[in-house]
Copies of this chain bind each other. A is one copy, B any other.
Amino acid sequence: MNTFGQLFRVTTFGESHGPAIGCVIDGCPPGIAIAPEEFAHDLSRRATGKTRHTSARHEADEIEILSGVYESVTTGTPIALLIRNTDQRSKDYANIAQQFRPGHADYTYWQKYGIRDPRGGGRSSARETTMRVAAAVIAKKWLAERGVHVRGHLAQIGEVIPAGHDWSVVEDNPFFWPHAAQVPELEAYMDALRKSGDSVGAKVVVEADGVPPGWGEPIYGKLDGELAAAMMSINAVKGVEIGDGFASVAQKGSEHRDAMSPNGFASNHAGGILGGISSGQIVRVAVAFKPTSSLRLPVDSVDVDGNAIEVVTTGRHDPCVGIRATPICEAMLALVLIDQALRHRAQCGDVGPVHPRI
């Protein structure tokens, strides 16, 4: 199950410290103009090694297009993308091979497969998400041609929440933070955290504008159901909300339901989805990231022989994995949307314009 999507299918492969990571995109519509250099922007947004607030690992992340694109246009055949790993310090992980790191997938991979590639977390590393971002570059382009735009920001780090909301500043700070005045505070917060050897969680919000009503397949292929699966499949995610999410629990029905008029919806508590189908409003998803478990601070654990040990993780890790997660969440939102768009066209391509559209 390393394939995501029903019709626009992305199959990823590769280990954190293996020779390469890559993906195959199958079912991509033909005729999309795409050049190798178009991947750089989003890959750079999720890359490590750019600021002191993320892991020091530096990967060139140079994409090679192996198939499916002819003269810079997609042909409808499978698109294979490849990135060679260049900065693997596997010796950083030498003793990890004999130890299970609490909060990591080491123990569960061991139990499931009876074998694991311990180098840098192997397959369970967040390095895999590079290829989701790459695949989504193509998806975003197709969506943009139809007026659908995806974007995201960080909505919480630890206890800190944005004191204001300005989309225009999100891309100008290393935290994807929507309030510029707080950035120095966050810098200081992260510096202190890094020094303490600890890590912290974060919340990401992503949204899609321009989604027409009708995308989403009830009952088990609901748009929100697939978004939940998509986000929860990202490393370190522990929660997903659509629209008001858990706040809905304490709401009254008269408060939650979004009134309608010929001019549109009066509010968007639903997050743009009703009955699993997009309503034409902005689709909004919030995602909770746990703090990374790779810390310099020691913790009790066991080794592969079952002995009690103390684990200290000294590799290069993000003190807040949520920071770089914004483009990853955007990617998953884009991948879900293009897949649902194609599925909707398949089944309902005969349905003409439906009135009234509010």
Chain A residues numbered 218-269 whose CB sits less than 8 Å from any CB in chain B: 218-222, 224-233, 235, 237-246, 248-262, 266, 269
Is A347 located at the chain interface by the 8 A CB criterion?
A: yes
Each complex incorporates copies of this chain amounting to 4
Assess the A77–B122 pair: CB atoms within 8 A.
yes
In the complex, how many angstroms separate the beta carbon of A85 from the nearest chain B beta carbon? 10
28 contacts between A and B (CB under 8 A): A1-B219, A7-B347, A13-B78, A18-B66, A20-B67, A29-B349, A66-B82, A70-B116, A70-B117, A75-B117, A77-B122, A77-B218, A105-B218, A107-B260, A112-B351, A123-B219, A200-B252, A201-B251, A225-B228, A225-B232, A232-B240, A238-B248, A248-B290, A249-B288, A251-B290, A259-B301, A260-B300, A342-B346
Give the complex CA separation of A343 and B213 in angstroms.
Answer: 21
Query: Is A176 part of the binding interface, using a Cβ–Cβ cutoff of 8 Å?
Result: no
In the complex where A110-B354, A248-B290, A352-B114 touch, is A300 in contact with B261 (Cβ < 8 A)? yes
The total of chain A residues at the interface (CB under 8 A) is 160
Instruction: Please tell me if A344 contacts chain B, counting CB pairs below 8 Å.
Output: yes
Expressed in whole angstroms, the Cα–Cα distance for A219 and B79 within the complex equals 14
A327 at the interface (CB under 8 A from B): no
Residue from the list B11, B18, B305 in contact with A356, Cβ < 8 A: B305
Taking a contact as CB atoms closer than 8 A, the residue among B111, B251, B278 that contacts A354 in the complex is B111
Say whether A76 faces chain B, with CB atoms less than 8 Å apart.
yes
Looking across the interface, which residue of chain B has its beta carbon closest to that of A21? B67
B66 adjacent to A22 (CB under 8 Å): yes
